[in-house]
């Protein structure tokens, strides 16, 4: 697959993200304008909860979905607080909830609290709304823990499992994504994957699309089953589509 073809495929599966501490209304307006580029559009924008309404105003009438984050980035263990935050985000118009799994609970083998959290949020995220569970694989580190976290989310009916918040030293890796994809395949459930954090070039995007094609079969990875969480890969994808040499851009996610 040429860089241009791959870039089109990746762009349409992109969760165009701004989770910077300095995000403003103007930044959200610019993000949404990019999201609606005719060469896409992207699958979703992913923004802080306080910007969900602003994104909704910008994207009204489009196919671009609005994702937001809860229990982010720390992956705390207060279930009632997280369900309150989720309910508020959904009321504001979020279509997709990216929930950070209580990954420290997984590390200390307290799997009950992790499952309780996902189950409680899953109950709220209904209809055509999606639940993505962030495993924070760079902090879990151990392949067995990554597999365990994947299974908790899959068995609690997550729609996607996602590698990372993008806020830790290690974000998405192909090794973690492979473990996650194999867990999805073994489960037989219709669960998608979202590599996120540190994806900045067309070659980075290719790694994850190739991995999905190899493990799940060609054609499996569509916006319904595969997302890339990134802010900084957008310009490289557009450059590849236009036949320009892509430049690596910097971004906080």
pLDDT in tens, 132-172: 999 999 999 999 999 999 999 999 999 999 999 999 999 99
Annotated catalytic, 162? Answer: yes
> Which whole number is the average pLDDT over 65-94?
98
C-alpha to C-alpha distance for 19 and 31, rounded to whole angstroms: 11
pTM: 0.96
H/E stretch holding 96: strand 96-100
- Among the listed residues 34, 115, 132, 194, the single catalytic one is 194
Which among 75, 77, 94, 78 has a CA at the least distance from the CA of 86? 94
* CATH number for domain 3-242, candidates 3.40.50.300, 3.40.50.10190, 3.40.190.10, 3.20.20.70: 3.20.20.70
Cα 126 from Cα 78, distance rounded (Å): 21
Per residue in 221-246, pLDDT tens?
Answer: 999 999 999 999 999 999 999 999 75
Give residue limits of the domains in the chain.
3-242
98 assigned to active site:
yes
Q: Average pLDDT for residues 19-33, to the nearest whole number?
A: 98
Q: Per-residue pLDDT for 250 more than 60?
A: no
Catalytic pick from 98, 115, 159, 204?
A: 98
Query: Active site residue: 34, 115, 132, 162, which one?
Result: 162
What integer pLDDT is reported at residue 246 of this predicted model? Answer: 56
Query: Is position 194 annotated as part of the catalytic site?
Result: yes
pLDDT in tens, 185-224: 999 999 999 999 999 999 999 999 999 999 999 999 999 9
């Amino acid at each position: 697959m040429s860089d241009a073809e791959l870039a089109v495929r990746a762009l349409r599966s992109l969760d165009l993200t701004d989770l910077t501490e300095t995000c403003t209304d103007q930044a959200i307006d610019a993000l949404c304008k990019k999201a609606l580029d005719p060469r896409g559009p992207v699958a979703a924008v992913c923004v802080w909860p306080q910007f969900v309404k602003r994104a909704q105003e910008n994207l009204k009438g489009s196919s671009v979905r609005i994702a937001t984050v809860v229990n982010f980035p720390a992956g705390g263990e207060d279930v009632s607080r997280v369900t309150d935050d989720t309910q508020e985000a959904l009321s504001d118009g979020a279509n997709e909830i990216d929930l950070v799994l209580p990954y420290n609970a997984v590390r200390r083998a307290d799997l009950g609290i992790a499952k309780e959290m996902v189950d409680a949020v899953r109950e709220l995220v209904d209809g055509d709304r999606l639940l993505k569970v962030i495993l924070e694989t760079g902090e879990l580190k151990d392949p067995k823990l990554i597999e365990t976290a994947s299974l908790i989310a899959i068995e609690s009916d997550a729609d996607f499992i996602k590698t990372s918040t993008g806020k830790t030293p290690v974000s998405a890796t192909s090794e973690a994504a492979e473990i996650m994809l194999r867990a999805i395949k073994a489960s037989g459930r219709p669960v998608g994957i979202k590599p996120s954090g540190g994806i900045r070039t067309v070659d980075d995007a290719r790694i994850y699309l190739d991995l999905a094609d190899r493990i799940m079969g060609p054609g499996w990875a569509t916006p319904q089953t595969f997302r890339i969480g990134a802010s900084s890969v957008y310009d490289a994808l557009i450059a590849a589509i236009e036949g320009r040499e892509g430049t690596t851009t910097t971004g906080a996610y």
